Amino acid sequence: MVKRVVFAVPGSLDTPTGGYAYDRRIMAELRQLGWNVECLDIGEGFPSPDEATRSAARSLLLKVPDSQPIVVDGLALGVLPDVVAEVASRHPLLGLVHHPLALEWGLSAERADALHRSEQAALALVREVVVTSPTTANIVASDYGVPAERITVARPGSDPPSRSSGSRSEVPHLLSVGAVVPRKGFDVLVAALATLAELPWRLTIAGDLTRDPNEAARLDVCISQHKLTGRIAALGAVSSERLAALYDDADVFVLASRFEGYGMAYAEALSHGLPVIGTTAGAIPDTVPQEAGILVTSGDVDVLAKALRRVIADADLRCRLSDAALAAARTLPTWQQSGAIFAAALEKLA
């Protein structure tokens, strides 16, 4: 008997974020395991869809043949509790939570509360929930009331570790990867680097500049005001080939996230043997051990600057952190393992 599942994804599966990359890879692994996987684009604009998008998403989901399992990506699931209620009466549903919507940085208290209530209602309607880290599992259980037995942790997989070549330069190349949105803390990173103008360094930011045009504009202003235009390059979204080249040319990975439900870029940095400078926010400590990097309190410019100074100025420290990063990467799950865990969660729907 052919095992079938529909992945309901908001927008293009090629969207350059970690969440969409996770969806792509899990679908590919499920197909390798014999599943017939259909990707259903339920529309753009989530998690703030207009009424036309909501209506179209409902119609698309209700057209799926009855009783067929559906995975609903959390970016849409959490704002469609009414639609989820209707669809759940006809289909076994699995909610995929990358990180709770209410924990996106920069929301008003009212908006965060509304998202929390909406996502809690939606999660109560699905049979199973997959999250991408133990930290997110704890949040979904404690703050959203989902019973632990209905939660499966399927961490993102990692490709085989391979140490980056590095810049081979007297000027360390810092790499930061993530969409330019407030949660990623690029304002904090630039402010910290501005205090290290006397040190040799250059920073490349690879991440979508269109997700939040206002934040992208603020980043440009911040770089300009600190007179760092010649030292910081914000490239926008790049191809997978270009990103791989950037990792290979990097000496240090840095990302000042204010929250991560997992943080795939951190894991990718480890797999390239890059020293990691990050924060303790969310699930980052689940992935980055102390010996592989320096994790600091999110939002603290001074403590981030001290960490950057240590790593930029000490080549021996970078070497030790690099060795530990590769060792940590070898303990991360492969995509095949993650796909098998996800498949087991789907089997529970029956």
CA distance 24 to 257: 23
Query: What is the pLDDT averaged over residues 118-124?
Result: 98
Handedness of CA 85, 87, 91, 93 (dihedral sign): negative
193-213 in b/e burial notation, b at 16+ Cβ within 10 A?
bbbeeeeebbbbbbbbbebbe
340: pLDDT strictly greater than 90:
yes
Query: What is the pLDDT averaged over residues 204-221?
Result: 95
Specify whether the CB–CB gap between 184 and 207 falls below 8 A.
yes
Output the CATH code of domain 173-329. Answer: 3.40.50.2000
Q: 237-281 pLDDT, tens per residue?
A: 999 899 999 999 999 999 999 999 998 999 999 999 999 999 999
CA distance 272 to 317: 16
Handedness of CA 44, 48, 50, 56 (dihedral sign): positive
Query: What is the pLDDT averaged over residues 177-189?
Result: 96
Kindly write down the DSSP assignment for every residue of 13-29, as one continuous string: TT-SSHHHHHHHHHHHH
Query: What is the pLDDT averaged over residues 13-25?
Result: 91
2: pLDDT strictly greater than 80:
no
Specify whether the CB–CB gap between 75 and 12 falls below 8 A.
no
Retrieve residue 120's tokens. Answer: 């809690």
Same fold, 3-157+333-348 and 173-329: yes
Starting from the edge strand earliest in sequence, which strands make up the sheet with 128-131, in order?
A: 35-41, 3-9, 70-73, 93-97, 128-131, 151-153
For residue 321, the model assigns a pLDDT of: 97
Q: 136-168 pLDDT, tens per residue?
A: 999 999 999 999 999 999 999 998 999 999 999
For residue 1, the model assigns a pLDDT of: 65
For residue 223, the model assigns a pLDDT of: 97
Specify whether the CB–CB gap between 195 and 226 falls below 8 A.
no
Q: What percent of the chain has pLDDT over 90?
A: 94
For residue 157, the model assigns a pLDDT of: 94
Domain 3-157+333-348: CATH class, spelled out: alpha beta
Terminal Cα-to-Cα distance of the chain (whole angstroms) = 13
For residue 106, the model assigns a pLDDT of: 86
CA distance 76 to 175: 30
pTM of structure: 0.90
- Name the residue ranges covered by the structural domains of the chain: 3-157+333-348, 173-329
For residue 350, the model assigns a pLDDT of: 75
Q: 42-88 pLDDT, tens per residue?
A: 999 999 999 999 999 999 999 999 999 999 999 999 999 999 999 99
